[in-house]
Amino acid sequence: MTATTLPAPGQSPKLHTKKLPSVAFLGVAVVALGLSAAICYGTGIGGWVLTLVVGLVLYLVGIFVAVNAVEGRRSARNRTWSALIHSAFVLAILPLASVVWTLVSNGLDRLDGDFFLTSMNNIGARDPNGGAYHAIIGTLEQVGIAALITIPLGVLGAIYIVEYGRGRFTFVIRFFVDVMTGIPSIVAGLFVLAFWVLIVSPWFNDGAPVFSGFAAALALSVLMLPTIVRSTEEMLRLVPAPLREGSYALGVPKWKTIMKIVIPTALPGIVTGIMLSIARAAGETAPVLLVAGGSAAINFNPFSAQQGSLSLFVFQQAGDASRFAPARAWTAALTLVALVLILTIAAKLLARRNRIPR
């Protein structure tokens, strides 16, 4: 590692000044750890975590001093930064490994048929069973409806941006599509709450607001639209211009060229983008919480009454006082992550296999 990071190809030892042997780094590490253990346990200010942290700091100082003495200041700085960058990487891996480990180990407890085939209806605080059937149905229906709304809208919007749009107006649309990807999900939920649940839906229901799965689907489509437009736009731009020109030369009108030539060429990429946005939408909790309300019973109808969803189920069970609730929350979280990751990985593999050559 240390040998390859040196930029100079110097094979001949004469060009090189003295080099610190790699054993020295190990020695510095051992000394640093020992010293920090002595400090931490000797004075009683902390346990093994502090020992490691202080040890790392001492190690960085130690290699700086050692390399500085042998190889010079510039090389010392190089080595220290390299060590810092590597330790940043290790530091980031720790919590992520912890998330994965706890998710899997805790989630396996309730991963049984009962969990996937029953709902939370009539499950009290002392019942260990109960499941997420209703929540899974809610997630699938809401995401499905959201996809039905958003896919045509998003793909057509991207076609406008790439094929028809010129000038400032198109630039504004593109800019706001990008900005819209950053809208917090809770704001999308509030928007649908204000617009659909509180203002539009009372017309159909004798003046009372309707919390429904469809409202959640609307909120999810607000979140999905910019991602689909963006990814489709990028894919359409990759379609080679000679394909379009060949079609025009044969006298085919522009709209037919787009539908028959451009879209089929870009289709794998478009599907990838759609799957990624669906995966993202499936994990959203806040909008569902606001406009679908959540329900313990199975509700197949997304238009009438309250409906749950898998992510909302995790949120509710995590806040539940029952001592059986955390196990249900972990299993639901594991299911949700599995669903999202399968979609994401499939999308990425699809993208890798069907990449349009540039």
Binders of other proteins among residues 154 to 183 (CB under 8 A) are: 154-157, 159-161, 163-165, 170, 172-173, 175-183
Interface region with other proteins, contact rule CB under 8 A, candidates 89-97, 113-121, 130-138, 260-268: 89-97
Continuous segment of H or E residues that includes residue 183: none
Q: Which two tokens mark 35? A: 């010293």
Q: Which of 124, 147, 148, 153 is nearest to 278 (CA)?
A: 147
Q: Which amino acid is at 28?
A: V
Among 24, 326, 346, 350, binds other proteins (CB under 8 A): 326
* 255 near other proteins (CB under 8 A): yes
* 222 near other proteins (CB under 8 A): yes
Among 50, 243, 296, 350, binds other proteins (CB under 8 A): 50
Judged by phi (left if over 0) then psi (alpha if -120 to 50, else beta), residue 72 lies in: left
State in angstroms the smallest separation of the CB of 302 from other proteins: 20
Among 78, 118, 304, 322, binds other proteins (CB under 8 A): 78
Q: How far apart are CA 83 and CA 26, in angstroms?
A: 13
Measured from the CB atom, the residue of 271 and 276 that comes closer to other proteins is 276
Q: Which of 128, 288, 315, 130 is nearest to 215 (CA)?
A: 288
Q: How far is CA 69 from CA 17, 77, 133, in A?
A: 12, 12, 66
Measured from the CB atom, the residue of 169 and 204 that comes closer to other proteins is 169
Residues 6+ apart with CB under 8 A from 116: 131, 132, 133, 136
State in angstroms the smallest separation of the CB of 222 from other proteins: 6
Measured from the CB atom, the residue of 179 and 356 that comes closer to other proteins is 179
Query: 132 — phi, psi (to 5°)?
Result: -115, 20
Site for other proteins (CB under 8 A): how many residues? 103
State in angstroms the smallest separation of the CB of 75 from other proteins: 6
* 69 near other proteins (CB under 8 A): no
Binding mask 100-119 for other proteins (x = CB under 8 A): --xx----------------
